[in-house]
């Protein structure tokens, strides 16, 4: 990747912004925090449902906002709302506070969803490097894994007694570091013509829908990615600390274990470009889909064995780290530049609908225990992994 270009500048800015924005010291004990505030397994899955509702509400308007006013402004608003949603957890002793926090958190994510891909892809086009989007997204994504190494260890150590005061301290520390993300985002620079769309909003959405109709393989690829991601990452990760505790790992070791997984994810994310240069992206997605199903089946039957559980977590971390950047490369190669963020947001609405359906379905099964929960998750991932994938020819817009 060339140095001294607009792309290298924006990738560097987003890397550091992602790093500070990912500082959530509560993460290694999040499920335990939920349980301490009176929630159960089903309630946690319902929070994911409300988070997805927030995403569903925000996807189209925030995608249109990014195409009209630029990704930089979109990022800064999203970061501000994310800080508010995280800070609300300090006072979340009643279910309705958790619900509002989850809704706002989901809504804040949509200011980044689609806009970040469009922002980097258009930046790469300025130096004719758009075929390196998956590598660029892998680099940016690696920031969250790097910071989590420290965050997970410190978070677990600080909250080793699982007292409410310790939980509040973790949340407050997270709010402080996340505030630095807004400062860093001021150094981002919109590519030329990015954020200049001024047509009728309905025409903007219509053009995004038309882009998907012209390339229906986009929809199938997106469903493949989504139906594997939801059970293997979104659902499984929410119970990782609880699973480790049930498998006999002391609380203060949970942070070290999750930190080790973050180190692994960091190097995997940084190696996406190397991997896709040696194996076709389509085959790569099929293989990782099968690995996700295998990992969830193991979790259903052997999660109480600590070593097997750790193997499962390594497997699913690998899957979670590599699949979306690879898909993003394939998808962005054919999405028109002027409505790129809007089109990606339209696809993300499908993701939100899938979230709502999967989370609500699995939440009803969760009351019967982890074994039934992970069997249902494996079935969903299996269906997703079988959906057809087809590479597309790059269109220069």
| Predicted local confidence at residue 361, as pLDDT | 84
CB 299 within 8 A of CB 272: no
| Predicted local confidence at residue 396, as pLDDT | 36
3-state secondary structure the chain: CCCCCHHHHHHHHHHHHHHHHCCCCCHHHHHHHHHHCCCCHHHHHHHHHHHHHHHHHHHHHHHHHHHHHCHHHHHHHHHHHHHHHHHHHHHCCCHHHHHHHHHHHHHHHCCCCCHHHHHHHHHHHCCCCHHHHHHHHHHHHHHHHHHHHHHHHHHHHHCCCCCHHHHHHHHHHHHHHHHHHHHHHCCCCCCCCCCCCCCCHHHHHHHHHHHHHHCCHHHHHHHHHHHHHHHHHHHHHHHHHHHHHHCCCCHHHHHHHHHHHHHHHHHHHHCHHHHHCCCCHHHHHHHHHHHHHHHHHHHHHHCCCHHHHHHHHHHHHHHHHHHHHHHHHHHHCCCCHHHHHHHHHHHHHHHHHHHHHHHHHHHHHHCCCHHHHHHHHHHHHHHHHHCCCCCCCCCCC
| Predicted local confidence at residue 380, as pLDDT | 94
> For residue 304, which of 230, 362, 370 has the smallest C-alpha distance?
370
Residue with tokens 């619900």: 99
What phi and psi, each to the nearest 5 degrees, are found at residue 44?
Answer: -65, -40
Residue 368 CB partners (closer than 8 Å, separation 6+) = none
What is each CA distance from 302 to 76, 253, 294, 309, 317, in whole angstroms?
Answer: 43, 20, 12, 7, 18
- What pTM was computed for the model? 0.76
Task: Spell out the per-residue pLDDT of the chain, length 397, in tens.
Answer: 678 898 899 999 999 999 999 898 998 788 889 999 988 878 887 888 898 889 888 888 888 888 788 889 999 999 999 999 999 999 999 989 999 999 999 999 989 887 888 889 889 988 888 888 888 989 998 888 888 888 878 888 888 888 999 999 999 999 999 999 999 999 999 887 665 555 666 676 787 788 778 778 888 988 999 999 999 998 888 788 888 888 888 877 887 888 888 889 989 999 998 998 889 999 999 999 999 999 999 999 998 899 999 999 999 999 999 998 998 888 887 776 666 777 887 888 888 788 878 888 887 887 788 889 999 999 999 999 999 887 655 433 3
Q: Work out the number of other CB atoms within 10 angstroms of the CB of residue 280.
A: 11
| Predicted local confidence at residue 208, as pLDDT | 76
What is each CA distance from 364 to 46, 239, 360, 368, 376, in whole angstroms?
Answer: 10, 16, 7, 8, 11
Residue with tokens 């927030």: 54
| Predicted local confidence at residue 394, as pLDDT | 46
CB 245 within 8 A of CB 32: yes
| Predicted local confidence at residue 43, as pLDDT | 86
Q: What dihedral angle (degrees, nearest 10) is formed by the CA atoms of 177, 96, 47, 321? A: -10
Please provide the distance, in angstroms rounded to a whole number, between the alpha carbons at the two ends of the chain: 21
CB 21 within 8 A of CB 188: no
* Complete domains list, the chain, with CATH: 6-187+201-386 (1.20.1250.20)
For 39, the token pair is 């929630």
| Predicted local confidence at residue 185, as pLDDT | 95
């Amino acid at each position: 990747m060339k140095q001294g270009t607009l792309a290298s500048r924006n990738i560097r800015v987003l890397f550091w912004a992602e790093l500070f924005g990912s500082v959530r010291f509560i993460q290694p004990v999040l499920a335990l925090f939920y349980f301490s505030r009176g929630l159960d397994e089903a309630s946690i899955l319902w929070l994911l449902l409300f988070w997805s509702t927030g995403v569903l509400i925000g996807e189209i308007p925030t995608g249109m906002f990014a195409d009209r006013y630029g990704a930089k402004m979109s990022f800064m608003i999203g970061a501000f709302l994310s800080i508010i949603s995280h800070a609300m957890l300090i006072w979340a002793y009643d279910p309705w506070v958790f619900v509002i926090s989850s809704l706002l958190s989901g809504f804040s994510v949509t200011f980044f969803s689609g806009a970040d891909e469009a922002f980097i892809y258009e930046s790469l086009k300025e130096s004719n490097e758009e075929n390196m989007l998956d590598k660029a997204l892998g680099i940016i994504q690696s920031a969250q894994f790097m910071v989590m190494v420290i965050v997970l260890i410190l978070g677990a150590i600080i909250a080793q007694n699982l007292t409410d005061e310790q939980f509040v301290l973790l949340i407050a520390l997270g709010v402080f570091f996340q505030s630095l993300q807004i400062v860093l985002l001021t150094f981002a620079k919109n590519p030329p013509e990015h954020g200049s769309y001024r047509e009728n909003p309905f025409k903007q959405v219509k053009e995004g829908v038309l882009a998907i109709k012209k390339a229906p393989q986009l929809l199938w690829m997106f469903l493949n990615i989504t139906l594997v991601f939801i059970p293997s990452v979104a659902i499984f990760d929410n119970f990782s600390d609880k699973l480790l505790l049930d498998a006999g790992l002391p609380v203060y070791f949970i942070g070290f274990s999750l930190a080790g997984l973050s180190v692994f994810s960091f190097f995997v994310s940084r190696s996406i470009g190397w991997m896709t240069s040696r194996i076709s992206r389509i085959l790569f997605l099929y293989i990782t889909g099968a690995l996700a199903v295998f990992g969830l089946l193991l979790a259903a039957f052997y999660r109480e064995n600590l070593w097997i559980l750790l193997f499962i977590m390594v497997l699913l971390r690998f899957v979670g780290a590599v699949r979306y950047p690879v898909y993003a490369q394939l998808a962005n190669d054919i999405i028109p530049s002027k409505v790129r963020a809007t089109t990606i947001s339209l696809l993300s609405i499908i993701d939100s609908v899938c979230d709502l359906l999967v989370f609500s379905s699995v939440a009803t099964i969760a009351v019967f225990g982890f074994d039934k929960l992970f069997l249902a998750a494996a079935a969903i991932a299996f269906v997703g992994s079988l959906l057809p994938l087809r590479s597309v020819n790059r269109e220069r817009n």
